[in-house]
Amino acid sequence: MSEQTVRALTVEQLNTYIRDYLGTSPLLNKVVVKGELSNVRVYGGSGHIYFTLKDENSAIPATMFGGASKLKFKPENGMKVVCTGRVAVFVRDGQYRIYTDAMEPDGVGSLYIAFEQLKAKLQSQGLFAQEHKKRIPKIPFSVGIITAPGGAAVRDMINVTRRRFPAARLYLYPSLVQGPNAPSQLISALKSLDESGICDVIIIGRGGGSAEDLWCFNDEGLAHAVFECKTPIISAVGHETDFTICDFVADLRAPTPSAAAELAVPDVRELKKQFSNVEKRMLQNLTAKTDYFRQRLNVLSTRPVLQSPKGYFDERRMTLARDEERLYSIVGSRIEREKMMLLAKSEKLNSLNPLSVLGRGFSVAFGADGKAIKSVEQLPAGAEFELMLSDGRKKAVAKD
């Protein structure tokens, strides 16, 4: 066996040596590389992300263990990113790759990417559609407020509501409005107030802050909870320039918490003015109607029927009497005419009556069967028959 053969390394030894050699390089232990994502694969169970980072001339495989839960945005093919990690060799395959610890969009923040991705997803599901927006009641007598109990936002909302519409009852449901535990508390608060049915409208929000501070209002679960509420929701998150997913799903978006309170309840002074104007219009309409009917009454009162009602009734009585006489005359004439017609028909029927012939000396012979005898052949000698005269019947016997 030659010396060269004795000194030969196995493949595993060579790959291990390269791994260890690369592992001692300070530059490769923490490297920042930018490029374009391709071949992105995310494994649901573990959340590991496998991808290739490439530019115009080269490519390198990369892995980010548990990346799906670490990133606020969803990596997609073609996205420009900046990856931070270390370069190492996987001994089994002899392939070096970047083991990524962090990933950021190149040129655009990860929060912005995540916001736009979730916005597009929920919009495609119809959560922002105008036809699903509920109308905010014009005069709500109970207002729910979901926010941090000790912040300036809740004080502003309470002060504005009390000033504008003191009759409204306020129900404060305290909740975290920042941090990883905030979405679950906000969802719980929404469901509790909505299911209780005690609120005519619910305000959810907080004061201003950074994008990270407001991020809990970009939670997908919170978006669905707002969408499913039966009670109208006003979203008031941050300042006027701040927009969150909650703003898009809510039935109404307010630029600030104070503005939300102004939008939720009417100004009692304005209501008094409106009621006063309505009262004036009603009084004007009533006065105009009264004047109109008074004029009508004055015109009607000058008519003869009201000036002399007895003369009016006498005239109508005479008309009725004349109609009565005409009716009696018409009916009497009709009865006489019908009586004459009936008499004529009666005389005609009487002339056709065979019994009337008997009165002139004629008679009718009936056989034993009760039928009239029409021929002497029906009466042989000795046959009994019956003669019917005008004043009665007599039995007879036929003789030759």
DSSP 277-303: HHHHHHHHHHHHHHHHHHHHHHHHHTS
> Chain-wide mean pLDDT for the chain?
86
**Pair (53, 141) in one structural domain:** no
**Pair (183, 247) in one structural domain:** yes
Whether residue 203 is predicted with pLDDT greater than 90 in this model: the reply is yes
Mean pLDDT on 110-122: 84
**Pair (54, 140) in one structural domain:** no
Q: b/e per residue, 76-99, with b = 16+ CB within 10 A?
A: eeebebebebbbbbebeeeebbbe
- In this structure, of 63-72, 173-182, 190-199, 305-314, the range with the lowest mean pLDDT score is 305-314
pLDDT the model gives residue 201: 97
Q: 175 vs 151, 160, 200, 295, 372, CA distance in Å?
A: 11, 20, 20, 67, 122
**Pair (120, 254) in one structural domain:** yes
**Pair (97, 157) in one structural domain:** no
**Pair (80, 25) in one structural domain:** yes
Give CA–CA dist 291/311, Å, rounded: 30
Mean pLDDT on 314-337: 87
In the chain, how many domains are there? 3
Whether residue 357 is predicted with pLDDT greater than 70 in this model: the reply is no
**Cα angle 211, 217, 219; round to 5:** 110
**Pair (122, 217) in one structural domain:** yes
Hey, how many other C-beta atoms are within 10 angstroms of the C-beta on 290? 10
Gap between the terminal Cα atoms of the chain: 179
pLDDT the model gives residue 5: 59
Asked which of 266, 299, 329 is the last residue of a domain, the reply is: 266
Query: Quick one: tokens of 102?
Result: 């962090």
- In this structure, of 47-56, 217-226, 266-275, 303-312, the range with the lowest mean pLDDT score is 303-312
**Would you say residue 348 lies in a domain?**
no
Between 368 and 205, the higher pLDDT residue = 205
**Would you say residue 176 lies in a domain?**
yes
**Would you say residue 13 lies in a domain?**
yes
Whether residue 214 is predicted with pLDDT greater than 80 in this model: the reply is yes
Using DSSP, state whether 250 is helix, strand or coil.
Answer: coil
Q: 119 vs 107, 226, 228, 244, CA distance in Å?
A: 20, 14, 17, 9
**Would you say residue 146 lies in a domain?**
yes
Q: Ramachandran region of residue 197, left (φ > 0), alpha (ψ -120 to 50) or beta?
A: left
**Pair (94, 152) in one structural domain:** no
Mean pLDDT on 104-133: 85
Instruction: Determine what percent of the chain falls in helix, strand and coil, rounding each to the nearest 5.
Output: 45, 20, 30
**Pair (260, 122) in one structural domain:** yes
The DSSP letter of residue 219 is -
**Would you say residue 175 lies in a domain?**
yes
pLDDT band at residue 61 under the 50/70/90 scheme:
very high
With pLDDT > 70 as the criterion, what percentage of the chain qualifies?
Answer: 94
**Would you say residue 238 lies in a domain?**
yes
Give the structural domain span for 380: 355-397
Using DSSP, state whether 267 is helix, strand or coil.
Answer: coil
Q: What is the dihedral of CA 178, 182, 188, 190, to 10 degrees?
A: 30
Whether residue 27 is predicted with pLDDT greater than 90 in this model: the reply is no
pLDDT the model gives residue 164: 94
Q: Which residues, 6 or more positions from 376, have their beta carbon under 8 angstroms from its beta carbon?
A: none
Between 298 and 250, the higher pLDDT residue = 250
Q: b/e per residue, 37-73, with b = 16+ CB within 10 A?
A: beebebeeeeeebbbbbeeeeeebbbbbeebeeebbb
Cβ proximity of 145 and 154 under 8 Å: yes
Q: Which residues, 6 or more positions from 238, have their beta carbon under 8 angstroms from its beta carbon?
A: 205, 206, 207, 208, 209, 214, 244, 256
**Would you say residue 272 lies in a domain?**
no
| Among the listed residues 80, 35, 76, 40, the one whose alpha carbon sits nearest the alpha carbon of residue 59 | 35
Asked which of 197, 231, 266 is the last residue of a domain, the reply is: 266
Query: Quick one: tokens of 125?
Result: 């599901």
pLDDT band at residue 345 under the 50/70/90 scheme:
confident
The DSSP letter of residue 372 is B
| Among the listed residues 238, 253, 245, the one whose alpha carbon sits nearest the alpha carbon of residue 223 | 245
Q: Strands 201-206 and 49-54: what pairing?
A: unpaired
